[in-house]
Amino acid sequence: MKEISCKLLVIGAGPGGYVCAIRAGQLGVDTVIVEAVKAGGTCLNIGCIPSKAVIHAADEYEKLAEMAAGKNPFGITVEKQAIDLAKTVAWKDRIVGRLNTGVAGLLKKAGVKMVAGWARFRDGKTVEVETETGLQVIRAETIVIATGAKPMELPFLPFGGAVISSTEALSLKELPKKLLVIGAGYIGLELGTAYAKLGSQVTVVEALPRILPQYDAELTRPVAKRLDALGIKVLVGAKARGLTREGDALMVETSDGKDERLAFDKILVTVGRRPAMEGWGLEELDLDKDGLFIRIDDQCRTSMRGVFAIGDVTGEPMLAHRAMAQGEMVAEIVAGHRRNWDKRSIPAVCFTDPEIVMAGLSPEEAKKTGRETRIGQFPFTANGRAMTLAGEEGFVRVVARADNNVVLGIQAVGKGVSELSAAFGLAIEMGSRLEDIAGSIHAHPTQSEAFQEAALKALGHALHI
């Protein structure tokens, strides 16, 4: 048995953990990071990155399919489209591989020691790791728990065989002819759309009355329209009940109380994720919980001295960029800097077709603060660049306080709007007023002009509408 000691030990090398370790290393903190699988965590290996690769490949394929069907305004004709899914998956794996190596390299460059294996707490200062070469004991002054989250399972439909999670859905070598998706949230719609574009017959079963229930209906309308155009059947207000006795169909209770049998080749269950709290010795610690999650304060400190927690294990929103920001902050705190969580917005992007971005408060949430608001919405139908991209569906919307025009929230739905999330986040973080956005020159012709115009609209003098 080997023993080492360090100032900072990070458990989990996902976006939260690896960023924390890199920053700590940069600041000269003697840091060790433990990871059982691969550097980069869920996001890089089986989440954000591979899903975006699959979504992009599906978009490219669908463009060709439309052209082959003579359905494009550009005058392009294509004989016949084809895809070799195994090659797509291999391309995706190469991207993941490059990023894995990249993260490992960054950790090394920052002087962080990486221990490969499964970590388990003995107590609040000691962790043991089962490595390939035996048990490694690590003693640390400070420990950061960054263990992430796992896909939620439906008790009557456990993962295995034809019932898959997003992990398996990102590595399918063959296209499922009939794909059932349970849950019309982020993952269900992002991957459901991709598979429909690749040629699967997709049905989505959502328990609540509408898709993407965390976004407002106006934002999700263009997405619902596109799902319909892609031939995706969406059953809202429907409850999956389990497989038939023969296991050949899924029984679903539809919104009108009727039972429907849905045949499938694969069932993708995407009903949310839960914090990864098992197997790493939580029971050896005395951590306060916040529902299912570990309770943290505004410095990501847990209820135990010297134990921090970051990322999905600490609650919503379970987004990689929140975890990264927490990781960076904790590293600086450990290095003696004065930091606390003072972010005004954590932008959320849904990579559906079209994409959705949300930063800050929605009109509904802003109203709940009790303040008068001013809202400006500008459609892409009036934006030249959107027209040239054949992407006129959607809009940008700005929500501001009526008394001083301080921007509270910005949302958009439209082709490629994920890249506008930076401008939205920056505007809110900088405490912008409508006049700041309206008064900044936005390059022409770009879709970002719709952002400026939405701010102008809220001020009552939009120019291009």
Residue numbers annotated as active site? 444
Q: Is 317 in the site for ligand NAI (CB under 6 A)?
A: yes
Q: Figure out which of the listed residues 96, 119, 310, 318 binds ligand NAI, where binding follows CB under 6 A.
A: 318
Does 18 engage in binding with ligand NAI (CB under 6 A)?
A: no
Stretch that binds ligand NAI, among 68-76, 136-144, 293-301, 313-321 (CB under 6 A): 313-321
For position 209 contacting ligand NAI by CB under 6 A, the verdict is no
Residue 243 is a binding residue for ligand NAI (CB under 6 A): no
Q: Which residues contact 9 (CB under 8 A, 6 or more apart)?
A: 31, 32, 33, 34, 127, 138, 140, 142, 143, 144
Which pair of structure tokens corresponds to residue 421? 């999330």
Shortest distance (Å) from residue 255 CB to ligand NAI:
12
206 lies in the binding site for ligand NAI (CB under 6 A): yes
Q: Does 195 bind ligand NAI (CB under 6 A)?
A: no
Q: How far apart are CA 130 and CA 1, in angstroms?
A: 10
* Rounded CA separation 275/295 (Å): 12
**Which residues, 211 to 230, sit near ligand NAI by CB under 6 A?**
213
Q: Does the footprint of ligand NAI cover residue 393 (CB under 6 A)?
A: no
Please say whether the beta carbons of 408 and 385 come within 8 A: no
Residue 258: CB partners within 8 Å, gap ≥ 6?
A: none
Give yes or no for residue 203 binding ligand NAI (CB under 6 A).
no
Answer yes or no whether residue 262 interacts with ligand NAI by CB under 6 A: no
Under the criterion CB under 6 A, does residue 25 sit at the interface with ligand NAI?
A: no
The window from 1-9, 285-293, 332-340, 348-356 that contacts ligand NAI (CB under 6 A) reads 348-356
- CB-based closest residue to ligand NAI: 185
Tell me if 121 contacts ligand NAI by CB under 6 A.
no
Span interacting with ligand NAI, options 64-72, 112-120, 200-208, 281-289, rule CB under 6 A: 200-208
427 Cβ neighbours under 8 A, 6+ residues apart: 359, 407, 410, 436, 437
Contact in structure between 420 and 398 (CB atoms under 8 Å): no
Cβ pair 398, 407 in contact under 8 A: yes
Q: What are the backbone dihedrals phi and psi of residue 60, each rounded to the nearest 5 degrees, phi first?
A: -60, -45
Query: In this chain, which of 197, 273, 415, 457 binds ligand NAI, going by CB under 6 A?
Result: 273
- 294, 312, 321, 346, 425 from 324: Cα distances, Å: 17, 11, 5, 11, 15
The conformation of residue 312, written as its DSSP 8-state character, comes to G
Residues lying near ligand NAI in the complex (CB under 6 A) are found at 154, 182-188, 190, 205-208, 213, 239-240, 270-273, 317-319, 349-351
